[in-house]
């Protein structure tokens, strides 16, 4: 019964989305307020019906209704309740439904809270959102229906992929989707502006918080994904340059560029058509990221839902949205008013440079991810692009960008002088120089890359701290007042840039100093590893709720005292997972993963990961900085209650 | 000129989408073997039990033969097994390579399910498998009468795979002199 209700709600949502795609656009064209109001009603109704469908699917999972094929394929009664709920978006069909749910809720938010927008602009935004919604609801209904029934009804279901049964993965896809889909709002605004043929201050004031609201969960989601891969996959790595990871990194890079260019547009009215182009491309890459990677076009270690048939449909959607938007751009953008002029050395100039590097970085990742597809078509060769490619292309471009990050916020708007900017950063430069010198003396020339990385991290963190500090120094006569009047967005900026510094610190540490070893250990045996003594105390079999585990207990003696660690290899009904034993400290992690039994002992792989936790701290701090920035009152004018605040409190996750 | 700049994104999109479109028709899991058109790497493997023959590279020349990599612990091999038995009855010569498996387990498995192989060798350490570039079991190599690898099948030989690819290829190889 529930499944039929959900199915019916989904069909209604589809029909309403068709109305939403047509009526408000016509209404805006004719200037008809009734038709435009109909668009708002349609957006709210669509959100309601999609939410109904989603709740029906989730309830089917909770009730273990195995007569629904999807439920039978992705959950069973032994699975704990939170994972049964999470299984709602653990499958292709369910994740599509979540995607459309977020899309329609955002659309509803634009309809409900967009009262301060010019009515025709709001109507056009809703129309574009309706078009996207209609395409994806059609995709769900015609190719990936989540409510198909199964006869005969099985007594027990198959399990959700055990790798996905983890708290990190329960929240990872929704966060990523909040980000991906959030960029659809910026996309809809960009297309609406192109249709209108004008970009004004109201447009810019609206777009920036939306971009920020998408960027925050995307940043947190990528960080969480990296953290999950680290502790759950048992390979001891934090980033693998896998297509699925790259797929989230590309919209992040462009979204970061968009965030900065939208700021310039808001404050100075410059970079108009560039911002529109970025908004279109960011959402297009989000679409490519969510779907194309999963369509079987590329092999990936974690594509959980693969089907080439659906890939063709998705490709059609991408061609339609991106193609139409870019064609519209080619037609209408040249006529847009170009904004205020600025000198090359200025805050705007810095953002332009930042944008160029970020776009080239995204292009680098795009090329690395998709070149195997093109090379196979052209030459028939199978190639794979791995970390060496990115080490040679991504890293050399990223380092100059990191140097620039500190200079940008120190520059004045409109025009500035290089010597004046450099004078403003002399304290961060001195701190970074001191760190560089100490590291060089301690480490010597042979660790030059690590030394440079530490200096860069210090430069970023000190430079971030300098942003509010400079303000307060200028107002030191009345320090209390100048602290109180500092806009929250300034703190957000400083936190996000400091997060980048922590990320640099972590990447440097783990890249330069990691160690690993593989050995066969007998119970009772102990080995020396990375300044610690690791003893295998016992190996035993343990029964979990829906798995059996071979559990190994270690005792570690090192500089940080003595502690015990437990690592396990879990056998679920259909597959195995590794639960790594990880000892986390700010200075570095010890990571032990237990393998198969061999010759009376077990295969043990150990890694030492210096400073690695700062990678995730940095990522979460960036997201937190975005959140702080979003809470700025100036941003909330007219855009109340849209921050996705309840989804995350990233503060001090390890 | 300025117009062209604005036109560039949509023009660039066309080849990218075309590439994706063609790319979707390719199955990325098909792995061509480096060995195609080359002679089999040299190996000489002990038999599964004293009453059987072993398996060496030299045994796999003279007539077209299938070299099937299997293991007693492999579930998909059980799926493939009936097809191999039928092929044996049709007179197809199949050699078995028992990969990363104890000889006794492999022999027991064949004793229980039936033995489709004319020759079997035990690759306990997986060394010969590495030389062959085996990525998993089951996997099958089609060898021509000169002892060269002509085709590699990853995953089980199903009746469809036999009817569509391997069967016609074997017929062609038999016709070659």
Per-residue model confidence (pLDDT) at position B177: 66
- Per residue in A585-602, is it b (16+ CB within 10 Å) or e — as a string? eeebbbbbbbbeeeeebb
Query: Residues of B with CB below 8 A from A280's CB?
Result: 9
Q: Rounded to 10 degrees, what is the CA torsion of A259, A260, A262, A268?
A: 160
Q: How confident is the model at residue B3 (pLDDT cuts 50, 70, 90)?
A: confident
Q: State ipTM.
A: 0.78
Question: What is the C-alpha to C-alpha distance for residues A149 and A145, in angstroms, rounded to an integer?
Answer: 10
Per-residue model confidence (pLDDT) at position B21: 81
Question: Can you point out the beta strands (E) in chain B?
Answer: 44-45, 55-56, 65-70, 94-99, 119-123, 139-143, 149-154
Tokens 């190719």 map to which residue? Answer: A143
Per-residue model confidence (pLDDT) at position A156: 81
The 10 Å Cβ neighbour count of residue A489 is 19
Q: Which DSSP helix (H) or strand (E) runs through A570?
A: strand A561-572
Within the 4-33 window of chain B, which residues sit less than 8 Å (CB to CB) from chain A?
6-7, 9-10, 13, 16-17, 19-29, 31-32
Nearest chain B CA: its distance from A503 CA (Å): 33
Per-residue model confidence as pLDDT tens digits over A392-444: 899 899 999 999 999 999 999 988 999 999 999 999 999 999 999 998 988 87
Per-residue model confidence (pLDDT) at position A421: 92
Question: Is 90 exceeded by the pLDDT of residue B41?
Answer: no
- Within chain A, which residues score under 70 in pLDDT? 159-161, 163-164, 292-309, 380-382, 574-575, 633-654
Per-residue model confidence as pLDDT tens digits over A472-509: 998 888 888 988 888 899 999 999 999 999 999 999 99
Contact B20 A373 (CB under 8 A): yes
Per-residue model confidence (pLDDT) at position A650: 39
Per-residue model confidence (pLDDT) at position A535: 92
Per-residue model confidence (pLDDT) at position A76: 81
Per-residue model confidence (pLDDT) at position B27: 58
Chain A residues whose C-beta is within 8 A of a chain B C-beta are 273, 277, 280-281, 292, 295-299, 308, 311-312, 315, 318-319, 322-323, 326-327, 329-330, 333-334, 370, 373-374, 376-377, 382
Question: Is 70 exceeded by the pLDDT of residue B28?
Answer: no
- Per residue in A217-234, is it b (16+ CB within 10 Å) or e — as a string? bbbbbbbbbbbbbbbbbb
Per-residue model confidence (pLDDT) at position A649: 38
Taking phi over 0 as left and psi of -120 to 50 as alpha, with beta for the rest, A168 belongs to alpha
Contact B21 A292 (CB under 8 A): no
Q: How confident is the model at residue B65 (pLDDT cuts 50, 70, 90)?
A: very high
Per-residue model confidence (pLDDT) at position A292: 65
CA neighbor of A446 nearest in space, from A515, A504, A512, A522:
A512
Among B13, B16, B28, whose Cβ lies nearest the Cβ of A298? Answer: B28
Q: How confident is the model at residue B31 (pLDDT cuts 50, 70, 90)?
A: low
Nearest chain A CA: its distance from B141 CA (Å): 19
Strands A601-610 and A576-579: unpaired
Per-residue model confidence (pLDDT) at position A639: 42
Per-residue model confidence (pLDDT) at position A635: 60
Among A281, A312, A322, whose Cβ lies nearest the Cβ of B24? Answer: A312
């Amino acid at each position: 019964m529930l499944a039929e209700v959900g199915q019916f709600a989904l069909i209604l949502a589809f029909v309403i989305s068709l109305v939403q795609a047509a009526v408000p656009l016509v209404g805006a064209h004719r200037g008809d307020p009734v038709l435009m109001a109909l668009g708002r009603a349609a957006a709210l109704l669509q959100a309601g019906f999609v939410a109904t469908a989603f709740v029906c699917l989730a309830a089917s999972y909770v009730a273990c209704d195995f007569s629904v094929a999807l439920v039978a394929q992705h959950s069973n009664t032994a699975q704990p309740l939170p994972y049964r709920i999470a299984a709602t978006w653990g499958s292709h069909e369910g994740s599509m439904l979540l995607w459309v749910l977020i899309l329609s809720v955002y659309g509803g938010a634009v309809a409900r809270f967009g009262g301060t927008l010019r009515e025709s602009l709001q109507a056009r935004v809703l129309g574009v959102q309706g078009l996207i919604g209609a395409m994806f609801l059609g995709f769900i209904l015609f190719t990936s229906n989540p409510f198909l029934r199964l006869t005969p009804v099985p007594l027990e279901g198959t399990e959700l992929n055990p790798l996905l049964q983890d708290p990190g993965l329960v929240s990872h896809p929704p966060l990523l989707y909040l980000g991906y889909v959030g960029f659809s709002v910026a996309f809809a605004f960009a297309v609406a502006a192109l249709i209108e043929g004008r970009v004004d201050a109201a447009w810019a004031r609206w777009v920036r918080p939306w971009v920020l609201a998408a960027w925050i969960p995307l940043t947190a989601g990528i960080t969480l994904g990296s953290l999950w891969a680290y502790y759950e996959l048992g390979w001891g790595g934090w980033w693998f340059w896998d297509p699925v990871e790259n797929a989230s990194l590309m919209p992040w890079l462009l979204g970061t560029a968009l965030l900065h260019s939208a700021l310039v547009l808001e404050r100075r009215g410059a970079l108009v058509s560039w911002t529109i182009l970025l908004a279109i491309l960011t959402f297009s890459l989000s679409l490519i990221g969510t779907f194309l990677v999963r369509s079987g076009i590329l092999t990936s270690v974690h594509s959980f839902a693969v089907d080439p048939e659906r890939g063709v449909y998705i490709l059609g959607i991408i061609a339609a949205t991106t193609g139409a938007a870019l064609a519209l751009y080619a037609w209408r953008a040249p006529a847009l008013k170009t904004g205020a002029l600025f000198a090359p050395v200025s805050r705007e100039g810095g953002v332009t440079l930042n944008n160029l590097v970020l776009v080239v970085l995204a292009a680098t990742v795009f090329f690395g991810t998709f070149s195997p597809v093109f090379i196979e078509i052209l030459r028939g060769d199978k190639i794979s692009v791995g970390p060496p490619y990115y080490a040679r292309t991504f890293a050399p471009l990223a380092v100059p960008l990191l140097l620039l990050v500190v200079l940008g916020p120190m520059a004045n708007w409109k025009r500035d002088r290089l010597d004046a900017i450099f004078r403003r950063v002399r304290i961060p430069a001195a701190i970074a120089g001191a760190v560089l010198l100490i590291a060089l003396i301690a480490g010597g020339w042979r660790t030059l890359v690590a030394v440079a990385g530490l200096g860069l991290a210090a430069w970023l963190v000190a430079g971030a701290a300098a942003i509010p500090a400079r303000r307060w120094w200028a107002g030191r006569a009345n320090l209390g007042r100048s602290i109180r009047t500092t806009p929250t967005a300034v703190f957000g900026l400083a936190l996000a840039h400091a997060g980048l510094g922590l990320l640099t610190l972590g990447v440097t540490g783990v890249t330069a100093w990691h160690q690993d070893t593989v050995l066969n250990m007998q119970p009772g045996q102990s080995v020396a590893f990375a300044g610690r003594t690791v003893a295998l105390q016992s190996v035993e079999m343990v029964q979990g709720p829906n798995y059996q585990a071979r559990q190994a207990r270690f005792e570690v003696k090192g500089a940080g005292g003595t502690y015990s660690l437990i690592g396990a290899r879990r056998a679920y009904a259909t597959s195995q997972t590794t639960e790594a034993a990880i000892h986390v400290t700010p200075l570095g992690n010890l990571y032990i993963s237990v393998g198969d039994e061999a010759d009376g002992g077990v295969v043990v792989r150990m890694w030492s990961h210096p400073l690695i936790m700062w990678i995730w701290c940095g990522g979460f701090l960036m997201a937190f900085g975005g959140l702080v920035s979003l809470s700025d009152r100036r941003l909330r004018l007219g855009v109340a209650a849209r921050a996705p605040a309840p989804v995350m409190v990233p503060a001090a996750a390890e | 000129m300025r117009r062209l700049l604005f036109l560039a994104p949509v023009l660039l999109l066309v080849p990218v989408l075309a590439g994706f479109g063609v790319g979707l028709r390719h199955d990325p899991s098909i792995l061509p073997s480096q060995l195609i058109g080359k002679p089999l790497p040299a190996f000489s493997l002990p038999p599964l039990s004293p009453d059987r023959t072993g398996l060496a590279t030299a045994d796999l020349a003279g007539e077209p033969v299938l070299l099937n990599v299997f293991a007693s612990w492999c579930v998909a091999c059980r799926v493939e097994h009936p097809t191999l038995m039928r092929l044996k009855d049709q007179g197809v010569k199949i050699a078995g390579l028992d990969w990363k498996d104890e000889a006794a387990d492999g022999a027991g498995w064949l004793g229980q399910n039936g033995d489709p192989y004319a020759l079997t060798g035990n690759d306990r350490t997986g060394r010969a498998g590495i030389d062959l570039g085996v990525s998993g079991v089951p996997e099958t190599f089609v060898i021509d009468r000169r002892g060269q690898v002509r085709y590699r099948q990853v995953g089980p030989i199903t009746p469809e795979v036999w009817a569509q690819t391997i069967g016609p290829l074997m017929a062609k190889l038999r016709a070659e002199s």
